[in-house]
């Protein structure tokens, strides 16, 4: 009997505990989480349309404006000169750069000049007898004839008889043959056409130089040209003589150049046009990389902003009564980092820095207003 009573009592306690636990669970209230509204601070500026200079960036490597590739037109042994024929060697105007051994050819030139002299001498008796009026000038010519100097021009022939007589004796043929040999003799010596420096040397003293062989390259270091490729969109906007800002690769040195030449055709592959910028500076070196900023156009009633502020559908964010809104714009030029916009209303406040997760209707506060409140406290 006692066991039955204890069993019934245990069941009652379990049932009572179940209902009590259920009642306690139902009576428990969960506090609702409070969602705080986050108002982001944004950077803005007031739009003031004006004239924006469209700068077209371009780059390239410097090349000397005046350069000469040195080629041999004759054959011979390269003789040692006053200066070593090495890259980096400077030369003055008219100074000998290359001298090729011409002793053998010089002897043949002297022989030809001697033959001409003898030929003229042989006709002097006939001139004295048949043409006494022209004899003095030919006598004077022989007196001034020097085998160690350039052959002087023949005396002017004034009459037909004189021309026929001189030509019939073969004097004109011999004279022009000698002049041709003298011209070729000059090619054994290559002089500097201007003040400059040797940038390439392909032969050394004692080398056998062959006709048509390239010997080196010589440049003038006073003036350089920068060849840049510009989009055909701005081909009609480039002007000769326009000043261009240049900067080196490290961006620690700036130079001033001018547009010297503009190519007359457009590259079919890249649809660009070549412009040549002339620049002079003692620090410039052949092959140096420079970046150029070409003033292509002045766009009126426009503004310039960062490219990351322009949305895909040609819209930008503006702030109207502490709420973000969208405004339609018309982009007219894109650079690497900037974009030029038109049709932006004057006086509105636009974002100057992008906001993560921004959307139309988002509550924001301007950075300037927030700063003003802190200063008043």
What average pLDDT does range 120-126 have in this prediction?
A: 91
- Count of domains for the chain: 4
Per the prediction, the chain carries an average pLDDT of: 86
Does 194 lie in the same domain as 96?
A: yes
Give yes or no for residue 376 having a pLDDT over 80.
Answer: no
- Provide the CATH number for the domain around residue 229: 2.40.30.170
| Cα→Cα distances 25→11, 15, 16, 28, Å | 21, 15, 14, 5
pLDDT at 90: 94
Tens of pLDDT, residue by residue over 189-248, are 999 999 999 999 999 989 999 999 999 999 999 999 999 888 777 776 677 888 888 998
Classify 134 in phi/psi space as left (phi over 0), alpha (psi -120 to 50) or beta.
alpha
- Provide the CATH number for the domain around residue 341: 2.40.420.20
Is the full-model pTM beyond 0.75?
no
Asked if 315 and 305 count as a contact pair (C-beta separation under 8 A), the reply is no
pLDDT at 271: 82
Q: Which region among 25-34, 71-80, 115-124 has the lowest average model confidence (pLDDT)? A: 25-34
Tokens linked to 268: 């079919």
Tens of pLDDT, residue by residue over 339-375, are 889 989 998 999 889 888 888 888 888 886 444 433 4
In this structure, is residue 270 part of a structural domain?
Answer: yes
Asked if 224 and 65 count as a contact pair (C-beta separation under 8 A), the reply is yes
In this structure, is residue 268 part of a structural domain?
Answer: yes
In this structure, is residue 355 part of a structural domain?
Answer: yes
Tokens linked to 308: 């990351």
Residue by residue, DSSP assigns 30-99 as PPPPP-PPP-EEE-EEE---EEEEEEEEEEEEEEESSEEEEE-SS-EEB---SS---TT-EE-TT-EEEE
Give the confidence band of 1 by pLDDT, cuts at 50, 70, 90. low
Cα 280–Cα 281–Cα 282 angle in degrees, nearest 5: 135
Tens of pLDDT, residue by residue over 63-87, are 999 999 999 999 999 998 889 899 9
Tens of pLDDT, residue by residue over 130-181, are 888 989 999 999 989 998 899 999 998 888 888 899 888 899 999 999 999 9
Classify 52 in phi/psi space as left (phi over 0), alpha (psi -120 to 50) or beta.
beta
Does 92 lie in the same domain as 214?
A: yes
In this structure, is residue 5 part of a structural domain?
Answer: no
Burial status of residue 159 (CB atoms within 10 A of its CB: 0-12, 13-18, 19 or more): exposed
Does 257 lie in the same domain as 204?
A: no
Q: Residue 211 sits in which domain range?
A: 67-101+188-219
Q: Is the dihedral of CA 284, 286, 291, 294 positive or negative?
A: positive
In this structure, is residue 12 part of a structural domain?
Answer: no
In this structure, is residue 2 part of a structural domain?
Answer: no
Asked if 65 and 278 count as a contact pair (C-beta separation under 8 A), the reply is yes
In this structure, is residue 279 part of a structural domain?
Answer: yes
Asked if 270 and 292 count as a contact pair (C-beta separation under 8 A), the reply is no
Report the alpha-carbon distance of residue 288 to residue 257 in Å, rounded: 14
């Amino acid at each position: 009997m006692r066991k039955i009573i204890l069993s019934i009592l245990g069941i009652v306690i379990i049932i009572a505990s179940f209902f009590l636990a259920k009642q306690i669970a139902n009576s428990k209230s969960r506090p609702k989480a409070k969602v705080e509204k986050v108002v982001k601070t944004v950077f803005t500026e007031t739009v003031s349309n004006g004239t924006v200079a469209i700068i077209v960036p371009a780059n390239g490597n410097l090349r000397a404006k005046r350069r000469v590739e040195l080629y041999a037109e004759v054959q011979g042994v390269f003789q040692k000169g006053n200066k070593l024929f090495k890259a980096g060697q400077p030369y003055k105007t008219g100074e000998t750069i290359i001298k090729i051994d011409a002793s053998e050819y010089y002897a043949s030139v002297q022989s030809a000049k001697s033959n001409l002299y003898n030929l003229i001498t042989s006709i002097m008796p006939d001139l004295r007898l048949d043409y006494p009026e022209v004899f003095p000038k030919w006598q004077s010519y022989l007196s001034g004839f020097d085998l160690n100097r350039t052959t002087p021009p023949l005396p002017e022939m004034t009459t037909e008889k004189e021309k026929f007589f001189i030509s019939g004796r073969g004097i004109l043929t011999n004279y022009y043959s000698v002049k041709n040999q003298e011209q070729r003799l000059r090619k054994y010596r290559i002089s500097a056409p201007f003040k400059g420096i040797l940038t390439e040397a392909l032969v050394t003293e004692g080398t056998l130089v062959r006709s048509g062989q390239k010997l080196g390259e010589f440049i003038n270091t006073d003036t350089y040209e920068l060849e840049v490729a510009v989009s055909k969109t701005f081909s009609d906007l480039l002007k000769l003589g326009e000043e261009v800002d240049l900067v080196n690769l490290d961006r620690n040195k700036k130079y001033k150049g001018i547009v010297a030449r503009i190519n007359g055709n457009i590259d079919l592959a890249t649809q660009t046009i070549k412009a040549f910028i002339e620049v002079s500076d003692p620090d410039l070196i052949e092959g140096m990389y420079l970046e150029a900023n070409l003033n292509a156009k002045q766009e009126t009633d426009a503004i310039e902003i960062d490219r990351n502020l322009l949305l895909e559908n040609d819209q930008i964010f503006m702030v109207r009564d502490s709420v973000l809104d969208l405004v339609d714009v018309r982009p007219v030029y894109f650079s690497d980092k900037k974009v030029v916009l038109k049709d932006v209303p004057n006086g509105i406040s636009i974002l100057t820095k992008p906001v993560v997760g921004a959307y139309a209707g988002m509550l924001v506060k301007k950075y300037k207003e927030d700063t003003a409140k802190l200063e008043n406290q």
